[in-house]
A = this chain, B = another copy of it.
């Protein structure tokens, strides 16, 4: 059942497309109220906290390129590169759990070093 098999990936790609094109509000419609996200700086709980995590970065984004995306019934795994006003190339990876078309869990990986360096250079 290919349609069922890619259910999580369809949600993941819609979420990804939304936030990487600046529409964080649309991206958050794919995020569960009680999302849990394990990000480099620690655990983020709830959609409001997730907005506070994603929104500021999304506003600095110049572009994003999907490197790879796979999924099955309830999980999707994506890797992409981003270009932002802070860092010209900063790849990220997200492993999303999707329940009833909402992202309930995200394991989010990126390297914080270039962002720390960029903020230090600005201060």
Binding site for B on A (CB under 8 A): 38, 40, 67-72, 75, 77, 79, 91-93, 95, 107, 109-113, 116
Contact = CB atoms under 8 A, between A and B. Distances in A.
Contacts of A40: 111, 113
B79 A70 contact: no
Contacts of A38: 91
Contacts of A91: 38, 107, 109
Nearest to A79: B95
Q: How many copies make up the complex?
A: 2
B110 A109 contact: yes
Given A70-B72, A93-B93, A111-B111, 14 more contacts: A68-B75, A70-B70, A70-B77, A77-B79, A77-B93, A79-B93, A92-B109, A93-B109, A109-B109, A109-B110, A109-B111, A110-B111, A111-B112, A113-B116
A116 to B, nearest CB: 7
A112 B70 CA distance: 25
20 contacts: A68-B77, A68-B95, A70-B70, A70-B72, A70-B77, A77-B77, A77-B79, A79-B95, A79-B107, A91-B109, A93-B93, A93-B109, A109-B109, A109-B110, A109-B111, A111-B111, A111-B112, A111-B113, A112-B112, A113-B116
